[in-house]
Amino acid sequence: SFAHGQRARRCRYWRDTNECRSAYNNKCDYLHPCRYGAHCKEATDREHCLRFVHVRTRGTCQHGTACNQLEDARHRATYSHGSLPDVLIVCRDGAACTRRHDAKHRNSYRHDLS
């Protein structure tokens, strides 16, 4: 917990929430990027904002949710796509994931092959 007005430091697992959960046993006190950025519905919640940074400088993709680059983590981190999360979480099953065919799953998770 933090004193009033105090913010946490950036987590060393900033981009990989699964790695963070493993390393800190789901009790991380460091900052992470909010997956929804400027479109976050919790951006006015004080507790949420003590744990998450809301990137508001992303451009808006002209193709929105119909974009053909929705699975590209770099593109998603650069451009907002309406109601979809800006940041893709690394799927813990990676290339072996059996849900890769599910569009809803692919729109929330990335499946790095490396």
Separation CA 110–CA 86 (nearest Å): 12
Q: What angle do CA 77, 19, 39 make, to 5 degrees?
A: 30
Query: How does pLDDT run across 38-56, given as a tens digit for each residue?
Result: 788 898 898 888 878 887 7
Beta carbons of 102 and 84 less than 8 angstroms apart: no
User: Beta strand 109-110 with 89-90: parallel, antiparallel or unpaired?
Assistant: parallel
End-to-end CA distance of the chain: 36
pTM of the entire predicted model: 0.61
pLDDT tier at 6 (50, 70, 90 boundaries)?
A: very low
pLDDT at 69: 92
Query: How does pLDDT run across 53-112, given as a tens digit for each residue?
Result: 887 777 899 999 899 998 888 898 889 888 888 888 888 888 899 998 898 898 888 887
30: DSSP letter: S
- Partners of 89 in the beta sheet? 109
